[in-house]
Structures are given as structure tokens and as C-alpha cells.
Amino acid sequence: MSQTALDLTNRFGDADVEGFSVNPDIRLTAAYGADQSACEMKIEPKHSILKEPERVLGMAPEVVVKIVDELIPRSERGILLNNIIADMGGVEERVFQYQNVTITYAPTGCTGAGCPLQGLAGKGK
């Protein structure tokens, strides 16, 4: 039996997580707080929710940065408080902590230079 979004909302209430198609290849998942505003967002390559992808699909860093800039304009982030680069054996993760949000750019499971990124953002404080 097929379930519609309305069926699920009627049964379980408002969604606390939703997925959106940014484009044919990229998915945005948003998690909501008690006030129904997005408190966490994740940008990643599209793949089936039923099985793990056979290979890691990537996104060019400039594409991820552009999407993050559209979702959270620099003017809304507040002052940059901290910029952390963690190198874990060839896998580099970048964390930018602003007054109002923390943005993490992380590789999508590959190792070495040129790994595709995914973007994660969450409210600060």
C-alpha cells in the first residue's frame, strides 16, 4: 500500500526531517527543530534510501559551496569565530564556526586529494 506525504503527516504529525531535490544529482535533507525551522541541513549526492550506493558519487567543491551560499548567505552567518581543518590520513574535513551557524565540508567517503565533498550545516549556539 502506497503512503502519501499527507497520509504520513496525518498519522505521525509534521515531519522533523525532509528531503529535497536541489538538482537531478544532489539531495538536500533538512532536520527541523521544535519551532519547525531548519536546524540541520545536509547536501549530498542522490542515492537510493533502500541500499548503499555501489560507488561513492561526488560533488565538485564549488557546487557544494554555491548551494551552501544560497541556503545560508554569508550575511546571515555572523562573524567567523573558528576555522578548523582536520586532516585524517588524507581525508580533509573543514569546519567553519560562525556566530549563527556551523558549516562542515566533508569528503563523501573517499580518500586522497580531490575527494568530492558533502556539505553539512547546523545552527550555532
pLDDT, greater one: 83 or 15: 83
State residue 118 phi and psi, 5-degree precision: -130, 155
E-assigned strand segments in 11-78: 17-23, 26-32, 38-45
pLDDT, greater one: 38 or 78: 78
Domains of the chain by residue range:
15-123
Mean pLDDT of the chain: 80
pLDDT tens, position by position, 19-56:
999 988 888 999 988 888 888 888 888 876 666 655 55
